[in-house]
Amino acid sequence: MTAATPAPAPFEAEFVAALTAMFEERIAFNHLLGLRIDTLAAEGVSGHLAMRPEFIGHFVHQRLHGGVISATLDAMAGLAVMAAIGARHLDEAPLDRLRRFGKLGTIDLRIDYLRPAIGERFTLRAEVLRLGSRVATTRMSFADAAGKLLATGSSAYIVS
């Protein structure tokens, strides 16, 4: 779909470090969950989550709680929007770009649960389907370590 789009300039180390610190540390609930960023690009972001006993939703099956899935996919979708906005404003200083994220707000979220989430480690992806001047729409996925799709999502954000 975006084959003809030129590859965006890579982010500066300063921007990546500041965005990572904000996402993984300063957003306290992301820190509580231990959600970590793996890749950051304008077209999409990825991350991972390690299973913990306190994330269990179904004690008999040792299944991950659906709320951990919805919370982390919501967070990853927001990160994808930040990366897309960051790429659109590469002319600005890194910290000025970060300041733009203060206006970002989730409008709504949909999660489709496909399969029971059982495993030691999960991988998350989010991509921006469209970044408009007012609204961004994202798609997300949650998979196990073998790449099996466990949940998908869709989310809308207000961006300015």
54 HSE (CA, 13 A, CB side): 3
The conformational region for residue 20 under phi > 0 = left, psi -120 to 50 = alpha, else beta, is: alpha
Residue closer to a second copy by CB (options 30, 46) is 30
Contact between 68 and a second copy per CB under 8 A? yes
> Residue 143 to residues 55, 114, 125, 149: CA-CA distances in angstroms?
16, 10, 9, 4
Contact between 18 and a second copy per CB under 8 A? no
Backbone φ and ψ for 97, nearest 5 degrees, come out as: -65, -40
Contact between 20 and a second copy per CB under 8 A? no
Residue closer to a second copy by CB (options 38, 112) is 112
| Exposed/middle/buried for residue 59 (C-beta within 10 Å: 0-12, 13-18, 19+) | exposed
Under rule CB under 8 A, how many of the chain's residues touch a second copy?
Answer: 53
Residue closer to a second copy by CB (options 10, 25) is 25
Distance of alpha carbon 85 from alpha carbon 131, whole angstroms: 8
Contact between 112 and a second copy per CB under 8 A? yes
Hey, which residues between 35 and 64 contact a second copy (CB under 8 A)? 53-60
Give min distance, CB of 87 to a second copy, in A: 18
Contact between 89 and a second copy per CB under 8 A? no
Residue closer to a second copy by CB (options 83, 156) is 156
What letter does residue 56 receive in the DSSP assignment?
A: E
Q: Which of 10, 14, 115, 145 contacts a second copy by CB under 8 A?
A: 115
Contact between 5 and a second copy per CB under 8 A? no
